[in-house]
Structure 1
């Protein structure tokens, strides 16, 4: 029997990106379905989060995610531009957020098609692997989507025509994420048990093997 696990994912989260290579390997190696469910990052989900958190939070995340990438040999650089429009000095998050709304709604559309992991893996690499400047410009995203079997222009048009439908998907994802027992991303949820972080995948596999997970 094919087991299933939810993966709550944010396009701004470095650790969400860093979880993708091992997640893809899991699907390749095991009889497992990963239901990637995009959510908005904390900057949008929790207004004022960065103003209330410890000032050491952001510098540590930058340091730690970079060394995790080096340790795992994952191409890595923080996206240019940041998917969240935010003042780096005041940490004020802008009211208008064109990048993250577009990315997350596109991810929701791929989720409805049952192919969110494939879509997100292709798109996230453009943002995070350092191979392009201005990931939001030109045809960088369109080419990545096409390689994964998606027509980005058609997806953008569909989302623009009915954004509320995809917001409803995201809202449902965020509700289930909150109910899972954790608030951060990436969070894997298997049999109602949350596993937070790209460094909990081994523990997740151990748990799933106890419930019958088999290699392909």
Structure 2
């Protein structure tokens, strides 16, 4: 039986996006699975977070995201529009969050369908890859879902029919994320041990190898 890793992941996190190319390559090379479990961003889980955080934090994330992408050769630009509706001058987070609610519910639906990792990989590439403006319009998400082996219209119909099911999946992800011992994303969790950040995949691989991880045939 393959080893299993949970990935707590947010559609608003540039580091979450930047973690995926290497994560996907590792799954292709080694005999383990990554269970993508989307959670809401900190700006939604804690609307006061950015007001309480040193303003240099956000500026550093922008700087660091671009250089990580440049070093790794990953196409990168912040999404247009931002998945979070937030006034970046006052840092106020709007109560209604149509974009991130839609994305996170879709991610939960893909998780339940067993296609979570493929879905977040394809959708985040649309958001952050730099080739698409207005990712929320037209057929951008539909084509991304199709590449992940899913039907966007079907997913959205299932969510509309029973939104509580997908909201509870997200809440369960957030509870397990918190129980892992970390609050940030991306957080990879193996046997209860958290590995936070796109730069901890080598450490995760080392731990998996201690538990008998083998390369695929």
Q: TM-score, normalised by structure 2?
A: 0.98
Q: Which residue of 2 aligns with 1:72?
A: 72
Tell me the number of residue pairs that the alignment of Structure 1 and Structure 2 aligns. Answer: 216
Q: Deviations over 1:92-133 (max 9, x none)?
A: 000110000000000101111111001111111000000111
| Secondary structure, counterpart of 1:4 in structure 2 | strand
Matched residue, 2:32:
32
Q: Which residue does the alignment assign to 1:166?
A: 166
Q: SS in structure 1 opposite 2:8?
A: strand
State the superposition RMSD in angstroms: 0.7
| Alignment match, 2:203 | 203
**Partner residue in 2 for 1:182:** 182
Partner-residue secondary structure (3-state), 1:212: coil
Deviation for aligned residue 1:159? 0.8
Q: Which runs of 4+ in 1 moved over 6 A?
A: none
In the alignment, is the contact (CA less than 8 A) between 2:47 and 2:92 conserved in 1?
no
The CA deviation at 1:146 is: 1.2
Q: Which consecutive unaligned segments of at least 5 residues does structure 2 have?
A: none
- Structure 1: segments with no counterpart, 5+ residues: none
Q: Is the 8 A contact 2:4 2:190 kept in 1?
A: yes
- If the length of structure 1 is used for normalisation, what is the TM-score? 0.99
- The CA deviation at 1:145 is 1.1
Match of 2:113 in 1: 113
Distance 1:101 1:170 in 2: 10
> How many angstroms does 1:149 deviate by?
1.5
CA drift of 1:47 comes to: 2.2
In the TM superposition, what is the alpha-carbon distance from 1:203 to its structure 2 partner?
0.3
Structure 2: distance between partners of 1:132 and 1:11:
15
Distance in structure 2 (CA, Å) of the matches to 1:12 and 1:202:
23
Partner of 1:52: 52
